[in-house]
Every structure is written in C-alpha cells, then in structure tokens.
Amino acid sequence: METRGSGITLGRVTAIVLNIALISLGIFVLFNQQWTVDEIGLVGYRPSAAVVSLAHNTTMTPLAERYFYVSHPTIDERSTFAKDCGNNDEKTIILGCYNGRNIYVFDVNDPRLPDVKEVTAAHEMLHAAYTRLSSSDKANVNRMVEAALKTIDDKHVKDLIDAYNRTEPGQLDNEMHSILGTEVGKLPPDLEAYYSRYFTDRSKVVSYAQHYQAVFTDLQNQQESLLGDLNSLADKINSQTTKLNDQLSQFNSDVTAFNTKAESGGFATQDEFNTARAGLVARQQQLQTERDGIQSLIDEYDAKRQELQDLNFEASSLERSINSQLPAVPSV
C-alpha cells in the first residue's frame, strides 16, 4: 500500500510539474512571439558562404547574425533584385531592401567599389533589428537617433535626411537608425553602446562606407576642379581673343595706311620707310606670339575637356554599376 501510495503521489507531482512547464512555455510563447517565429525561421536554414562572409566582414554579433540569417538574405543580380525589391517608388539608387521578412542585397561587383555589399548587408540587418525592438526600446532608440542627428554636420547625412523625408515620410527614425549605425563614425556614447549589440567593431563597417563614398567624392571633386579650370580658361581665351581681334583690326588699318603712304610716295626717305615697315613687322610678330599663346590655351582647354569627358564616363560607369533599376543590356 505504501509503495502504491508513493507511486500515486509521484505521478501527481509529475503531472503538476508537466502542467507548470506547459504553462511556462505558453507564457514564453505569448510574450516572445517574434523570438519564436525567428526560431522557426532558422530551422533548416543554411546561409551561403557569401552571406556568411558579409556577416563576418561586418563584425556582426551573434544577435545581429540571428536577425540577419532569419531574414534569409540573398545576394541578387540585377534582374532578380529588381523583382525582389521592385515595389519601390523611389527614384534614388537602391542597393538593398528589407520587406519585413527577407533581406535582399544587390550584387555590386565593380572592383572600384569592393565594400558596398558589406555596408548594404549591415544597413538592412539593422532594419530587421529595429522592427524587433519593443515599443519602449524603440522609443528610446528613436530619442537617441534624433538627438544624434542634431549634432551631425555632415552634408551627406543631411541630404539623406531630406531624401527620406520626401520619399519615406514617417520612416526617418527607422532609416537613420540604419544610416547612423553603418555610415557615421562618431556618435554619442549612449548610441554607440546601443550599436554594440550588433557589431563587435562598428568602425570597420563605417570604414567600408567611407571607402566607397570616397570613390564618388574624389571623382566629383576632380570633375568640379576640372570644370573650374575650364571656365577659367574659357574666360581667359575669350578675353585674350577679343583683345587680339581689336589689335588685329588696328594692325590691318595701319598696314593699309602704310601701303597707301608708300604707294603715294609719302615717305621722305628710305630710312623712314624702313623704320615704319620694321615697326609693323615687329607688331606682326608680337600678334603672332599672342595668337600662339591663345592657341596654347585652347589646346589646354581641349585636353582638360577630354579629361572631364573621361571622368564623366567613369562616373556614369560607376553609377551604372550600383544602379539596380537599370534594364539589362540585351545580348546580340
């Protein structure tokens, strides 16, 4: 009887424990629905080597990797990316997107821009992280982001703020949460501490962004410098040409007067004739020198114009390499 009683008692305890466990599991699922959904999304998922490389190169923490991998990121060539991220009305260049479930990264393979995919991957991962913040955490993060924006005097960031206000009204905090985390080096300590959730070395991601942005900035600076040189040369050429034309007009009049005087016997002596003629010859040589100088300026202008055209072509080539919205060139 005692053995039977002990068995019955043990059975009841086991049942109670199991019930408590089930209740605890139910409470966990109820209050951690996103975590549960993510766990399901990670079942059977194996990231490609390229995707793993993006996570590694951007120093993603295990938490960041979780958010990145559960979004099943893919690196798309142009036509596939256009389909995956095609529901975008922005007229700006799109390098990646996060649709609330999946991350898509445009496969930029221009050797001049080796780090674009890393920055894009980190940017989109932060979107996935932002959507998983609790209401209170999101409010706190928004406060930190908005405070940081007031301290940043960076034209690139300000231009992005204006662009997002136009194209995605109401999404500025979300977008700048990704921009600040991947493109701005110096941030307030509280925001820097927050981003340490996602990156073990955020400066590496920022260096990627600064590197590829510098390619465009340097190119633009060269274009602007050349354009300034061309405008200056054009002004000099026009000014000197106008002056030369006036001098030539006067010279031609003086030559006509000289010939008329010579033909009419106006010169009293041969020395007077020779002196007047020598003066005209000297002036002619000086005018030729000035004309040669203008031609040198024109040659310099043409060389710089060709250099600018080459830079414009390079800039166009760079833009095409990151413009996922361009149609594919048909094969012949």
For the segment 154-190, what is each residue's pLDDT rounded down to a tens digit?
A: 888 888 888 888 877 778 899 999 999 999 999 999 9
- Compare 189 and 331 and report the one with higher pLDDT: 189
Asked if 65 and 184 sit in the same domain, the reply is yes
Asked if 62 and 92 sit in the same domain, the reply is yes
**Which pLDDT score, from 0 to 100, does residue 153 have?**
85
> 155 lies in a domain?
yes
What whole-number distance in Å separates Cα of residue 250 and Cα of residue 8? Answer: 128
**Which pLDDT score, from 0 to 100, does residue 329 have?**
43
**Which pLDDT score, from 0 to 100, does residue 9 have?**
38
- CA-based angle 58:64:70, to the nearest 5? 115
What whole-number distance in Å separates Cα of residue 258 and Cα of residue 284? Answer: 14
Report the candidate in 213, 6, 195 with the shortest Cα–Cα distance to residue 95. 213
**Which pLDDT score, from 0 to 100, does residue 202 have?**
97
Of 200, 233, 255, at which residue does a domain stop? 200
- Compare 91 and 293 and report the one with higher pLDDT: 293
Res 332 pLDDT > 80: no
**Which pLDDT score, from 0 to 100, does residue 91 have?**
39
| Domain assignment of residue 279, given as a range | 214-322
> 16 lies in a domain?
no
Which pTM does this prediction carry? 0.74
**Which pLDDT score, from 0 to 100, does residue 40 have?**
79
**Which pLDDT score, from 0 to 100, does residue 326 have?**
52
Task: Write the single-letter amino acid at 237.
Answer: I
pLDDT tens-place string over residues 61-87: 999 999 999 999 999 998 899 888 875
pLDDT tens-place string over residues 89-128: 443 457 899 999 999 999 998 888 889 999 999 999 999 9
pLDDT tens-place string over residues 201-253: 999 999 999 998 888 888 889 999 999 999 999 999 999 999 999 999 999 99
Instruction: For the chain, give the percent of residues with pLDDT over 90.
Output: 61
At 266, give phi and psi (nearest 5°): -75, -20
Q: What is the rounded average pLDDT of the residues 124-143?
A: 95
**Which pLDDT score, from 0 to 100, does residue 14 have?**
54
Of 166, 200, 234, at which residue does a domain stop? 200
What whole-number distance in Å separates Cα of residue 100 and Cα of residue 41? Answer: 13
**CA 317 from centroid of its chain's CA atoms:** 14
The DSSP output letter for 150 is T
Lowest-pLDDT choice from 9-23, 25-39, 80-94: 9-23
> 78 lies in a domain?
yes
Indicate the number of domains in the chain.
2
DSSP assignment of 56-117: HHTTB-HHHHHHHHHT--EEE-HHHHHHHT------S---EEE-SS-EEEE----TT-TTHH
> 275 lies in a domain?
yes
Asked if 96 and 169 sit in the same domain, the reply is yes
Of the chain, the end-to-end C-alpha distance in Å amounts to 92
Instruction: For the chain, give the percent of residues with pLDDT over 70.
Output: 86
Asked if 226 and 195 sit in the same domain, the reply is no
Asked if 73 and 188 sit in the same domain, the reply is yes
User: Strand, coil or helix: what is 199?
Assistant: strand
- Mean pLDDT (the chain) is 85
> 136 lies in a domain?
yes
What whole-number distance in Å separates Cα of residue 33 and Cα of residue 144? Answer: 26
Q: What is the rounded average pLDDT of the residues 8-13?
A: 44
**Which pLDDT score, from 0 to 100, does residue 5 have?**
36
> 15 lies in a domain?
no
The DSSP output letter for 140 is H
Asked if 173 and 58 sit in the same domain, the reply is yes
**Which pLDDT score, from 0 to 100, does residue 330 have?**
42
Asked if 54 and 193 sit in the same domain, the reply is yes
Residues whose CB falls within 8 Å of the CB of residue 167, separated by 6 or more in sequence, listed in order: 89, 90, 91, 92
CB 175 within 8 A of CB 126: no
Asked if 150 and 239 sit in the same domain, the reply is no
Asked if 86 and 190 sit in the same domain, the reply is yes
Alpha-carbon distances of 324 from 136, 174, 327, rounded to whole Å: 36, 22, 8
Asked if 63 and 161 sit in the same domain, the reply is yes
Res 269 pLDDT > 50: yes
At 174, give phi and psi (nearest 5°): -60, -50
Asked if 170 and 225 sit in the same domain, the reply is no
Of 200, 228, 243, at which residue does a domain stop? 200
Q: What is the rounded average pLDDT of the residues 23-48?
A: 70
> 6 lies in a domain?
no
What whole-number distance in Å separates Cα of residue 295 and Cα of residue 312? Answer: 25
> 59 lies in a domain?
yes
Report the candidate in 32, 59, 2, 39 with the shortest Cα–Cα distance to residue 208. 59
Q: What is the rounded average pLDDT of the residues 293-304?
A: 95
Asked if 124 and 262 sit in the same domain, the reply is no
Res 19 pLDDT > 70: no
